[in-house]
Amino acid sequence: MANKVTLKQIAQEVGLSPSSVSLVLNNRPCRISEENRKRIKEVAARNHYVPNQIARSLVMRESRTLGLIVPNIESRFFASLAGSLEKRCREDGYALFITSSGGSADDDLELLRQLVTRGVDGVFLVVGDEFSDDRALREEVSHLPIPAVMVDRAIEGLECDKVMFDHEMGGYMATRYLIEQGHRRIACLVNARRSNTGRKRLAGYERALREVGLPIDARLEFESEYYIPSAYEASEAVLATDATAVFASSDNIALGLLKRLHEMGKSIPGDISVVSYDNSAADVLFEPALTAIEQDPGVLAEHAFACMSKRLAGRGGKRAEEVVLEPALIVKGSVLDLTEYS
Amino acid sequence: MANKVTLKQIAQEVGLSPSSVSLVLNNRPCRISEENRKRIKEVAARNHYVPNQIARSLVMRESRTLGLIVPNIESRFFASLAGSLEKRCREDGYALFITSSGGSADDDLELLRQLVTRGVDGVFLVVGDEFSDDRALREEVSHLPIPAVMVDRAIEGLECDKVMFDHEMGGYMATRYLIEQGHRRIACLVNARRSNTGRKRLAGYERALREVGLPIDARLEFESEYYIPSAYEASEAVLATDATAVFASSDNIALGLLKRLHEMGKSIPGDISVVSYDNSAADVLFEPALTAIEQDPGVLAEHAFACMSKRLAGRGGKRAEEVVLEPALIVKGSVLDLTEYS
DNA sequence: TTGTTGTCATCAATCGATTGCAATATACCC
DNA sequence: GGGTATATTGCAATCGATTGATGACAACAA
């Protein structure tokens, strides 16, 4: 294990002052003779010298590092978001510090502090979606000495830049599409009890129904956690209704539903139509592929970075910016067109 | 956006020296009067003071931060590894800096440098698996001023701590199991052309065959990338052979195979038996569930951290440590027992 | 000789913490 | 009052870099 090489050591070996070495290695436009310039570079290279960013950012007051907090890096969506965001950051010369909180507001807070004290220049915050006491977190975010951008999920009423997909719109689009295809009895399977996004998607579902004068029937609204087994459990009741279509409000929920359907020997879309949300790779396996509401994490990353970039450059107004992205309806083959038969 | 509060400012407000404030806030056992102690804490809290870790680690010469480089954070396995590792690090008070390289040796090198200069105390390195020119990376790793642990994959011939699963053994176990179940014509679908791990799994497959005197038939060895569509393409040829079983050497490869099987109306294990590797969550959907070789990323994380921990504590020998973990065969229902019929 | 200009390189302060050692204050004892 | 313990607190160096101000020296002009 080699030792760390410092600027001073390089200076000593070359026989010049540390300042000169610093000047040369940073390519500062100053007059150091070509000869010394070359010798410094040569010695630095030979000794595998890398500047200590810690010391550097202490005086420069910036680290060109950004932080990201996600509730769970093992989720496909967040992993993909993290991947895209990191790529984007790197393009602009920023390193991205990815951390995963476990979803509780306490952990979010702890990680946020860690990042700040470690000198990141800004932080992307994907807060846990489920209910929890977020007063301390809220307090911390509003006192942050660096720019923060909330991504995908917001803390209500917090003055902070936000970039997110419109979940209500997603629920609306899915349901609206089913209605347009002639469906009238549409069930939904959502995580409204524990998730803000879930509640919004449910609201969109209900708006679509209301808009065309269809009744909102509590017997068609089913609850499921964002896990396959939970959705699998819940699906039995869903399939016992007279619904001709189901809006499954997440990829895992759709997978649980599919498993149950498969077991019961029911086919899609012949026996029942399905619109999914935010599909996972797994659904390439199914015939037909699932019609779904898609949210591209790359787009989210792009906008989040743009927002951050603005703040870092000192542009960007005093008030918080709010970017709302529309999800997309991707039509594949899991919805039966009932209008043909009318 | 609040300003950063420094130790000095707190000191000023309290009317004491920065040293005293530092001493108190770090709970150093020194005699500062109870009264001042309380006042300092009160003022620090009121001003949302958080110590600047950058400055701190400059003098302390440690940051209690570790780094992780994975080829692709969007892969389930790496995401899961990252998640487990982060949790483990946090338990010991370390923050984990997760970065994703894109899989090229150049990016690995770049990220490694970034991490080192940003003052991490140690780094976990999951290098890209495919062929590339890794001389520079190799050089850098051997000159690292901090401990490094290679995880899941190694650079051959590099003196460095390693923690990984035995891929050869995995291939062997899968094949051996199929043989024990009475199979004689066993095909395999591996990524041997571009992946080191793939080659090792293939070697295990061949060893199992050799061991019982079965012929190694090149016509039963098929090549596939680690992507579903690639495996899907390759599967047609696999299914045209007289094999009664297939060893699919990754989760995605198995999924591609399954898609093809499903399309052809073939059933598992009635028409053909399958042993998969490293199953993704998606396979909960299938009936029967897939028998597979499993590598628990949590176990990998645990051992990697233990290894790192040793180095950081200054224990751990001069020579590199090498931990090889055995994967596990998880028997579910995708293999037909031919011995029953003999 | 003195002054001017230009080139090359160094000095010393700074960033925000930590910490060994020195300093001050107060009390207590003889 | 002088000496010694004890309880508090401050000074100043340090970590490894950056950078504006400054110095040293040579060449050249007046």
Q: Are B167 and B142 in contact (CB under 8 A)?
A: no
- The residues of chain A scoring below 50 in pLDDT are none
CB contact under 8 A, A76 and B76: yes
Residue of B74, B86, B119 lying closest to A99 (CB–CB)? B86
DSSP string of B42-111?
Answer: HHHHHTT----HHHHHHHHS--SEEEEEES-TTSHHHHHHHHHHHHHHHHTT-EEEEEE--S-HHHHHHH
Strand partners, A185: none
pLDDT at A283: 63
CB contact under 8 A, A54 and B259: no
A157-161, A221-225, B65-69, B176-180: least confident range: A157-161
pLDDT at A259: 87
- CA–CA distance, B134 with A59 (Å, rounded to integer): 34
B26 phi/psi in degrees, rounded to 5: -95, 10
pLDDT at A316: 80
pLDDT at A199: 95
CB contact under 8 A, B147 and A1: yes
- Name the nearest CA neighbour of A133 among A105, A169, A167: A105
What does the pLDDT average to over B139-165?
Answer: 91
B295-334 burial by CB neighbour count: b if 16+ within 10 A, else e?
bbbebbbbbbbebbbbbbeeebeeeebebebebeeeeeeb
CB contact under 8 A, B285 and A258: yes
Chain A: give the shortest CA distance to residue B214, in Å: 34
Neighboring chain B residues of A72 at a CB cutoff of 8 Å: 83
A189 CA → D14 C1’, Å: 62
* A31 vs B64: which has the higher pLDDT: B64
* B255 vs B326: which has the higher pLDDT: B326
pLDDT at A135: 86
Of the ranges A170-174, B114-118, B133-137, the best mean pLDDT one: A170-174
Strands (E), B4-121: 65-70, 95-100
Chain B: give the shortest CA distance to residue A313, in Å: 14
Closest residue (Cα, C1') to D6: B31
CB contact under 8 A, B54 and A72: no
Residue of A57, A86, A143 lying closest to B2 (CB–CB)? A143
Region at A153 (left for phi over 0; alpha for psi -120 to 50; beta for the rest): beta
B1-10, B157-166, B167-176: least confident range: B1-10
- CA–CA distance, B98 with A98 (Å, rounded to integer): 5
A6 CA → C9 C1’, Å: 20
B39 CA → D10 C1’, Å: 18
- Reported as a single tens digit per residue, the pLDDT across B241-255 is 999 999 999 988 998
Measured CA to C1', the nucleotide nearest B61 is D15
- CA–CA distance, A105 with A113 (Å, rounded to integer): 12
The answer, yes or no, to whether residue B342 has pLDDT greater than 60, is no
- CA–CA distance, B51 with A184 (Å, rounded to integer): 60
pLDDT at A342: 56
- CA–CA distance, B257 with A197 (Å, rounded to integer): 35
pLDDT at A18: 92
Residue B306 is encoded by which pair of tokens? 């233990």
CA-nearest residue to B79 within chain A is: A74
Q: Are A282 and A289 in contact (CB under 8 A)?
A: no
pLDDT at A262: 84
pLDDT at A118: 87
CB contact under 8 A, B86 and A95: no
pLDDT at B50: 87
- CA–CA distance, A37 with A21 (Å, rounded to integer): 8
A245-262 burial by CB neighbour count: b if 16+ within 10 A, else e?
bbbbbbbbbbbbbbbbbe
Residue of B54, B263, B287 lying closest to A118 (CB–CB)? B54
Asked if strand C comes closer than 7 Å to B237 Cβ, the answer is no
Neighboring chain A residues of B145 at a CB cutoff of 8 Å: 1-5
Q: Is the peptide bond before A215 cis (omega within 30 degrees of 0)?
A: no
- CA–CA distance, B279 with B274 (Å, rounded to integer): 12
- Reported as a single tens digit per residue, the pLDDT across B191-209 is 999 898 999 999 999 999 9
DSSP string of A9-42?
Answer: HHHHHHTS-HHHHHHHHTT-SS---HHHHHHHHH
In the chain, the amino acid numbered B70 is V
Asked if strand C comes closer than 7 Å to A47 Cβ, the answer is no
Map residue A282 onto helix, strand or coil.
helix
Enter the pTM of the model.
Answer: 0.90
Residue carrying the six token digits 């964002």: A226
pLDDT at B1: 65
- CA–CA distance, B239 with B249 (Å, rounded to integer): 16
pLDDT at A4: 85
Chain B: give the shortest CA distance to residue A212, in Å: 36
Closest residue (Cα, C1') to C13: A59
Q: Are B197 and B244 in contact (CB under 8 A)?
A: no
What does the pLDDT average to over B151-175?
Answer: 94
Please state, rounded to an integer, the average pLDDT across all residues of chain B: 91
What does the pLDDT average to over B41-68?
Answer: 92
> In this prediction, what percent of chain B has a pLDDT beyond 90?
65
pLDDT at A1: 65
Q: Are A205 and A247 in contact (CB under 8 A)?
A: yes
Region at B310 (left for phi over 0; alpha for psi -120 to 50; beta for the rest): alpha
CB contact under 8 A, A118 and B87: no
- Reported as a single tens digit per residue, the pLDDT across B258-291 is 889 988 989 999 999 999 998 776 666 667 889 9
Strand partners, B125: B69, B150
Chain B: give the shortest CA distance to residue A26, in Å: 15
Asked if strand D comes closer than 7 Å to B55 Cβ, the answer is yes
A57 CA → D10 C1’, Å: 28
pLDDT at A126: 95
Query: Which alpha helices (DSSP H) does A118-270 contain, by range?
Result: 135-142, 167-180, 196-211, 228-239, 251-263
Helix (H) or strand (E) holding B59: helix B53-60
A121 CA → D21 C1’, Å: 30
Q: How far apart are the first and last CA of chain A?
A: 77
- Reported as a single tens digit per residue, the pLDDT across A89-147 is 999 989 898 999 877 888 888 889 889 888 899 999 999 877 677 888 888 898 888 99
CB contact under 8 A, B65 and A118: yes
Chain A: give the shortest CA distance to residue B192, in Å: 24
